[in-house]
Copies of this chain bind each other. A is one copy, B any other.
Amino acid sequence: MVAWTAYLTASHLLERRVEEQLKADAGLTHAQYEILARLSAAPGRRLRMTELARGVVASKSGLTYQISRLETMGLVTRETCPSDERGVLAALTGEGMACLERTAPGHVAVVRALLIDLLEPGELETMTRVMRKMEAAMRDDAPPPSR
């Protein structure tokens, strides 16, 4: 359990720092940054809402909120999905891409400074492996009352 406590403390602190840096440097929330990043990596720079929600691990309603927010900032647009009339695609705008490119270096710097650079290569590798195991365990493992 000492591991768990350490994990909680460290992750809270890190989240705080990241949030702080992004807000100061780019006026973005970490959640918003994650959305932009996901979109930029997607084919055509657009993704279905649900897919995106799964990716950033947020509730559907939370995502709706943030996309609206990003839309009024001009970083994202909504398009109706051609293959499914009810679907919505969130698409990164040029401005959104520019914003991301402008913001990424600072963000990456913080992450490196507070996480990556602290680790021995081996440690980094185990961390990644562990995180993947966790994700695998939680993605399919009984989402309590379903499946």
Contacts and interface: CB of A to CB of B under 8 A. Distances in A.
Given A3-B124, A4-B116, A111-B4, A131 B9 contact: yes
B17 A135 contact: no
Contact of A134 (B2, B118, B141): B118
A126 interface: yes
A9 B129 CA distance: 13
Given A12-B57, A127-B130, A144-B20, A135 B6 contact: yes
B3 A127 contact: yes
A108 B1 contact: yes
A13 B118 contact: no
A14 interface: yes
Given A134-B114, A137-B114, A11 B13 contact: no
